[in-house]
Structure 1
Amino acid sequence: MTFIRNLLAAGLAGPLLITAAATPDNQSDAARPAPHEPYRPAYHFTPARAWMNDPNGMVYYQGVYHLFYQYHPHSTVWGPMHWGHATSPDMIHWTHQPIALAPDEHGAIFSGSAVIDWHNTSGFGTPDNPPLVAIFTYHNEADWRSGQRPPQSQALAYSTDQGASWTKYAGNPVLRPAADQGDFRDPKVRWYEASKSWIMSLAVGDHVAFYGSPDLKQWRLLSEFGKDIGAHGGVWECPDLVPMEVAETGEKKWLLLLSINPGGPNGGSATQYFIGDFDGSRFTLDAKFAAQLQQHGPQWLDWGRDNYAGVTWSDVPATDGRVLLLGWMSNWDYGAKLPTATWRSSMTLPRELKLHQQAQGYVLRGQPVRELDALKGRTTEFPAQAATRHAELTPAGATLQLSETYVEFARPDDSSKAYLEFSNAQGELYRVGIDGHTQQFFSDRRRAGQKEFSDQFAQQLHTAPRQSQAPRISMRVYLDRHSAELFADDGATQMTELLFPKAPYTSVHFRVEGQPLQLITFKVTEIGASPTVSAAPQ
Structure 2
Amino acid sequence: MKKRCLLTLMIVLLTCMAFAQVKPIVLGDRHAMLKLTQDSRYLLLPVQETEDIASIAVLDNYNNMVQRINVKLSIDRVDYYVPFEIRGTALLDIEWQGDRRQKGAVGDFVCWKDMKYSNEFDTTNREKFRPAYHHTPLYGWMNDPNGMFYKDGVWHLYFQYNPYGSQWENMTWGHSTSKDLVHWEAQPAAIEMDWLGSIFSGSCVTNGNDVVAFYTSAGHHQTQSMAVSKDGGRTFEKYSGNPILTTSDIPDFRDPKAFWNEDAKVWNLILAAGQEMRIYSSKDLKEWTYESSFGKEYGNHSGVWECPDLFPLTQTTKQPNNQTTKKWVLLCNINPGGPFGGSATQYFIGQFDGKKFTCESMPKVTKWLDYGKDHYATVSFYNAPENRRVVLAWMSNWQYANQVPTKQYRSANSIPRDLGIFQYGEETYVSVVPSKEMLAVRGQKVKKPTETCEIVVDVKNQTEIILSNTKGEEVVMRYDTTKQTFKMDRTKSGDVSFSEAFPCETKAPTYGQIKQLRIFVDRCSIEAFDADGKMAMTNLVFPSEPYNTIKVNGGKATIYQIEN
When normalised by structure 1's length, the TM-score is 0.79
Match of residue 271, structure 1, among 345, 348, 360: 345
> Is the contact between residue 58 and residue 68 of structure 1 (CA under 8 Å) also seen in structure 2?
yes
Q: Aligned-pair distance for 1:489?
A: 4.8
Flag the 1:331–1:247 CA change in 2: closer, same or farther, 3 A: farther
What is the one-letter code of the residue matched to 1:462? T
> What is the distance in 2 between the residues matched to 1:183 and 1:203?
7
Q: Aligned-pair distance for 1:193?
A: 2.4
Superposed CA deviations along residues 333-372 of structure 1, whole A, max 9, x for unmatched, are: 0000000011000000010111112334212111111112
The unaligned stretches of length 5 or more in structure 1 are 1-33, 119-129, 144-150, 381-394, 413-417, 513-518, 530-538
Q: 1:409 aligned to 2:488?
A: no
Match of residue 425, structure 2, among 342, 359, 381: 359
Per the alignment, in what secondary structure is the counterpart of residue 310 of structure 1? strand
> Where does residue 415 of structure 1 map in the other structure?
none
> Is the contact between residue 478 and residue 487 of structure 2 (CA under 8 Å) also seen in structure 1?
yes
Q: Aligned-pair distance for 1:194?
A: 3.5
Match of residue 306, structure 1, among 374, 381, 384: 374
> Is the contact between residue 172 and residue 198 of structure 2 (CA under 8 Å) also seen in structure 1?
yes
> Where does residue 528 of structure 2 map in the other structure?
486
Q: Aligned-pair distance for 1:180?
A: 2.7
> What is the distance in 1 between the residues matched to 2:308 and 2:316?
23
Per the alignment, in what secondary structure is the counterpart of residue 437 of structure 2? helix
Match of residue 132, structure 2, among 30, 39, 42: 42
Q: Which has the higher strand share?
A: 2
Match of residue 506, structure 2, among 444, 462, 471: 462
Q: How does 1:314-393 map to 2 (within 5 A)?
A: 314-317=382-385, 320-379=386-445
> Where does residue 527 of structure 1 map in the other structure?
562
Count of aligned positions: 436
Per the alignment, in what secondary structure is the counterpart of residue 367 of structure 2? coil
Superposed CA deviations along residues 356-391 of structure 1, whole A, max 9, x for unmatched, are: 1233421211111111222211125xxxxxxxxxxx
Match of residue 198, structure 1, among 267, 283, 292: 267
Per the alignment, in what secondary structure is the counterpart of residue 479 of structure 1? strand
What is the one-letter code of the residue matched to 2:374? D
Q: Aligned-pair distance for 1:165?
A: 1.3
Per the alignment, in what secondary structure is the counterpart of residue 336 of structure 1? helix
Match of residue 234, structure 2, among 160, 164, 168: 164
Flag the 1:44–1:445 CA change in 2: closer, same or farther, 3 A: same
> What is the distance in 2 between the residues matched to 1:510 and 1:206?
43
Q: Aligned-pair distance for 1:93?
A: 1.2
What is the one-letter code of the residue matched to 2:479? I
Match of residue 153, structure 1, among 223, 244, 247: 223
Flag the 1:167–1:439 CA change in 2: closer, same or farther, 3 A: same
Q: Aligned-pair distance for 1:437?
A: 5.6
> Is the contact between residue 264 and residue 353 of structure 2 (CA under 8 Å) also seen in structure 1?
no
> Is the contact between residue 449 and residue 550 of structure 2 (CA under 8 Å) also seen in structure 1?
no
> Where does residue 135 of structure 1 map in the other structure?
214
> What is the distance in 1 between the residues matched to 2:264 and 2:520?
42
What is the one-letter code of the residue matched to 1:225? F
Q: Aligned-pair distance for 1:411?
A: 1.8
Q: 1:59 aligned to 2:103?
A: no
> What is the distance in 1 between the residues matched to 2:476 and 2:533?
18
Flag the 1:160–1:36 CA change in 2: closer, same or farther, 3 A: closer
Per the alignment, in what secondary structure is the counterpart of residue 327 of structure 2? strand
Per the alignment, in what secondary structure is the counterpart of residue 255 of structure 2? strand
> Is the contact between residue 184 and residue 204 of structure 1 (CA under 8 Å) also seen in structure 2?
yes
Match of residue 284, structure 1, among 349, 358, 366: 358
Per the alignment, in what secondary structure is the counterpart of residue 387 of structure 2? coil
Flag the 1:431–1:315 CA change in 2: closer, same or farther, 3 A: same
> What is the distance in 1 between the residues matched to 2:137 and 2:130?
10
Q: Percent identity?
A: 42
Q: Aligned-pair distance for 1:491?
A: 2.1
Per the alignment, in what secondary structure is the counterpart of residue 226 of structure 2? strand
Q: How does 1:72-151 map to 2 (within 5 A)?
A: 72-118=162-208, 130-140=209-219, 143=220, 151=221
> What is the distance in 1 between the residues matched to 2:226 and 2:372?
34
> Where does residue 29 of structure 1 map in the other structure?
none
Per the alignment, in what secondary structure is the counterpart of residue 250 of structure 1? strand
Match of residue 506, structure 1, among 522, 535, 548: 548
> What is the distance in 2 between the residues matched to 1:452 and 1:134?
40
Q: Aligned-pair distance for 1:35?
A: 8.4
Superposed CA deviations along residues 403-449 of structure 1, whole A, max 9, x for unmatched, are: 1111122223xxxxx22100001010001122456432111000010
Highest CA radius of gyration, 1 or 2?
2
The unaligned stretches of length 5 or more in structure 2 are 1-123, 318-322
What is the one-letter code of the residue matched to 2:458? E
Per the alignment, in what secondary structure is the counterpart of residue 373 of structure 1? helix
Superposed CA deviations along residues 40-64 of structure 1, whole A, max 9, x for unmatched, are: 0000000000100000000111111
> Is the contact between residue 349 and residue 429 of structure 2 (CA under 8 Å) also seen in structure 1?
no
Per the alignment, in what secondary structure is the counterpart of residue 79 of structure 1? coil
> What is the distance in 1 between the residues matched to 2:537 and 2:293?
30
> Is the contact between residue 444 and residue 461 of structure 1 (CA under 8 Å) also seen in structure 2?
yes
> What is the distance in 2 between the residues matched to 1:315 and 1:376?
26
> Where does residue 81 of structure 2 map in the other structure?
none
> Is the contact between residue 304 and residue 462 of structure 1 (CA under 8 Å) also seen in structure 2?
yes
What is the one-letter code of the residue matched to 1:298? T
What is the one-letter code of the residue matched to 1:276? G
> Is the contact between residue 461 and residue 480 of structure 2 (CA under 8 Å) also seen in structure 1?
no
> What is the distance in 2 between the residues matched to 1:114 and 1:134?
4
Superposed CA deviations along residues 146-202 of structure 1, whole A, max 9, x for unmatched, are: xxxxx101000011111121100011000001x231010000000112433210011
> Where does residue 487 of structure 2 map in the other structure?
442
What is the one-letter code of the residue matched to 2:486? F
